Amino acid sequence: MKILVVGSGGREHALAWKLAQSERIQTIYVAPGNGGTALDGRLKNITLSDPLALAEFAKAEHISFTVVGPEVPLAAGIVNIFRDKGLKIFGPTKEAAQLESSKDFAKTFMQRHGIPTARSQTFAATAPAHAYIDTHGAPIVIKADGLAAGKGVVVAMDLQEAHDAVDMMLGDNKLGDAGARVVIEEFLAGEEASFIVMVDGKNILPLATSQDHKRLRDHDLGPNTGGMGAYSPAPIVTPELHARVMREIIQPTVQGMAKDGILFTGFLYAGLMIDEHGNAKTLEFNCRMGDPETQPIMARLKTDLVTVMEHAVNGHLDTIELKWDRRTALGVVMAAGGYPDAPVKGAQITGIPAETADTVTFHAGTALENGHLQVTGGRVLCVVGLGDSVKSAQKHAYDAVDAIHFDGAQVRRDIGWRALNRKH
């Protein structure tokens, strides 16, 4: 069987790597892929990126189903295009992807269906936005409505920062269309976790829990990034909290979308803020898997992912169970020098250790040029270690990280600290 994976990051490498473990696989195409997918003999990179061209490729090559990694093609309607041609694809339609592509859509949706989230209001003009901030005070959170590649949220600790964010987005139009409207919301204190499920329109299959690390530097300092590391499971999500999140957030979301006439299919990712009493609120939805959460999650998945995906695209997620490696998987991102503002490209990467039973390296911003691996983007690698404890998973990951070299590499040394604290 042939499968197509759309995307080029660590998430897509991890999905393709897991799919390729199935005995039923003939070829997995990755569009456009990266240096890691180029090195894997079971995977084949293709340079197409336009959704229509990809659909024609899938038709001509008799692709059994397509899995979409990133949000941009989903928001552009790649699922609609594939389905119009009778092709199987796992992801939300353009309409359903609004849960991620418009924060205003998501907030209005959550308010309508009673899903716990921060109180908020949406603005298209600066004056009422400034007035709202003065009424509610700081800390307060300013969010661009549209997709902004992780650069659209300002958690303002004082009023000046909040007013500046409104001026930047609504006044100076710094984020373009994405910032044409802003959601201003109540600041929530607590600890974040990622809650990711698969949805086939009706049935919901939860994946293992995970937590990521957004800040560039140790101790959660420095600028926000796409994510500097992640691990699974996330001990903060106890079985009890898991059941509550399913009941209070995930099920009402899937049922609410169906009621609104927009069936949700694909990965659904709720970003949660969990307060000191263990109550969870939804910070946002993503309509795809997280990156880097996917890497440790896939490293722990024992069930054949091809079979899982078949159930998903055929609407049968109620008849499959997922089996997980009981160990902790912990992924450490190695980022390029200058990331996140101005990643330096072109450095040569050496020393990536071969995959073992307790380490695997997923590529993101890499390319294979004349047999050499080069840095081509901000997040370069995600090195995953597995172990019976968080500590041993961490040791396996960092042992591999320490063997890898490229000029300017930025690595956090404290991935997993929250889980370590909790277990002591």
Ligand X SMILES: Nc1ncnc2c1ncn2[C@@H]1O[C@H](COP(=O)(O)OP(=O)(O)O)[C@@H](O)[C@H]1O
Q: Which of 415, 409, 366, 410 is nearest to 395 (CA)?
A: 415
Report residue 99 as tokens.
Answer: 């849960």
> Which C-beta is closer to ligand X: that of 105 or that of 187?
187
**Angle between the N-to-C axes of helices 159-166 and 126-136, in degrees from 0 to 180, rounded to the nearest 10:** 160
Q: How far is the CB of 351 from Mg ion (least distance, A)?
A: 32
Residue nearest to Mg ion (CB): 271
As given in the structure block, the two tokens for residue 289 are: 């898997």
> Would you give the DSSP letter of residue 114?
T
CB of 214 to Mg ion, least distance (A): 8
> Is there binding between residue 271 and Mg ion (CB under 5 A)?
yes
Residue 192: which of ligand X, Mg ion, none does it interact with, CB under 5 to 8 A by kind?
A: ligand X
- Judged by CB under 5 A, the stretch of 263-271, 304-312, 356-364, 365-373 that binds Mg ion is 263-271
Return the number of the residue (30 or 141) whose C-beta is nearest ligand X: 141
Cα–Cα distance between 29 and 282 in angstroms, integer? 34
Cβ-contact 288, 68 below 8 angstroms: yes
Binding mask 223-262 for Mg ion (x = CB under 5 A): ----------------------------------------
Q: Which residue is nearest to ligand X (CB)?
A: 284
Q: At 391, list the tokens.
A: 């500590």
- Both tokens of residue 407? 């000029």
Contact yes or no for 404/361 (Cβ under 8 A) = yes
Six token digits for residue 174? 């710094």
Closest distance to ligand X from the beta carbon of 361 (Å): 25
Q: Which residues pair with 194 in a beta bridge?
A: 210, 271
**CB-CB neighbours of 39 under 10 Å:** 15
Total site size for ligand X, rule CB under 6 A? 16
Stretch that binds ligand X, among 78-86, 145-153, 296-304, 416-424 (CB under 6 A): 145-153
* Interface with ligand X, residue 223, by CB under 6 A: no
Rounded Cα–Cα distance for residues 25 and 276 (Å): 46
Using the minimum distance from each CB to ligand X, give the nearer residue, 149 or 243: 149
- What span, in angstroms and rounded, lies between the C-alpha atoms of 423 and 333? 23
- My answer on whether omega of the bond before 296 falls inside 30° of 0, hence cis, is no
CB of 350 to ligand X, least distance (A): 33
Q: For Mg ion, how many residues bind (rule: CB under 5 A)? A: 1
β-strand partners of 6 = 31, 68
- CA 9 – CA 293 distance, rounded (Å): 12
Three-state secondary structure of 325-369 = CCCEEEEEEEECCCCCCCCCCCCEEECCCCCCCCEEEEECCEEEE
Q: Binding string to ligand X for residues 150 to 179, with x set by CB under 6 A, is what?
A: x-xx-x------------------------
Q: What are phi and psi of 145, to 5 degrees?
A: -65, -40
CB of 284 to Mg ion, least distance (A): 5
CB of 152 vs ligand X, minimal distance in Å:
5
**Residue 262 touches which of Mg ion, ligand X, none (CB < 5 to 8 A by kind)?**
none
- Smallest distance, Å, CB 90 to ligand X? 22
What is the number of other CB atoms lying within 10 angstroms of the CB of residue 1?
15
Tell me the window of 13-21, 54-62, 184-192, 261-269 that interacts with ligand X (CB under 6 A): 184-192
The interface mask with ligand X, positions 339-378, x = CB under 6 A, is ----------------------------------------
Q: Which does 118 bind (CB under 5 to 8 A by kind): Mg ion, ligand X, none?
A: ligand X
Both structure tokens of 130: 């400034």
Query: Applying CB under 6 A, which of residues 197, 272, 280, 283 lies at the interface with ligand X?
Result: 283
- Asked whether 236 and 274 are in contact (CB, 8 A), the reply is yes
Binder among 95, 145, 200, 284 for ligand X (CB under 6 A): 284
Closest CB 224 distance from Mg ion, rounded Å: 9
Contacts to ligand X by CB under 6 A: 118, 141, 143, 150, 152-153, 155, 185-188, 192, 214, 271, 283-284
Residues that bind Mg ion (CB under 5 A): 271
